[in-house]
Amino acid sequence: MEFSTADYSIFVLLLVLSAAIGLFYALSGGRQRTVQEFLLANRSMGFLPVALSLLATFQSAVAILGVPSEIYRFGTEYWFLGCSYFLGLLIPAHVFIPIFYRLQITSTYEVRG
């Protein structure tokens, strides 16, 4: 299997589009002047964009490509890992995130002992 002309065209188009979006936002203003504005959107975002951002952070390209093949090859035992992710994320979401929000910190590395 090799890349065809159509594959290369789509690949280049995606790279150019990604670069154009990055350049547009880099050159179109400067709304994000502080770390607070850049990392936390000045604490003005709703829950949906934050939740989708966290979901995208947890999903890697390897997982997106590998999990379906793992399930196809070995069966649905891998499904339990997904359940454990769901349960394992509930505790931090309800315990640590509210504490971080009240302390106005973005990382555990900012906690002073």
pLDDT of residue 18: 93
Distance of alpha carbon 15 from alpha carbon 46, whole angstroms:
30
The answer to whether 89 and 23 have CB atoms below 8 angstroms apart is no
Between the alpha carbon of residue 19 and those of residues 11, 22, 80, the distances in Å are 12, 5, 38
Q: What average pLDDT score do residues 50-54 get?
A: 76
For 25-48, what is each residue's pLDDT tens digit?
778 766 667 777 777 777 777 878
Tokens of 72: 């196809």
What is the domain partition of the chain in residue ranges? 1-32, 34-106
Model confidence pTM above 0.75 = no
State how far the alpha carbon of 91 is from the alpha carbons of 18, 75, 101, in Å. 35, 28, 15
- pLDDT for 47 equals 75
pLDDT given for residue 61 in this prediction: 79
Joined tokens for residue 44: 């003005």
105's CB contacts (< 8 A; 6+ apart) are 111
Looking at residue 29, what is its pLDDT?
66
pLDDT tens by residue, 53-99 = 777 777 777 777 888 888 888 888 877 877 787 788 788 878 888 88
Using alpha carbons only, give the angle 44, 113, 99 rounded to the nearest 5 degrees.
30
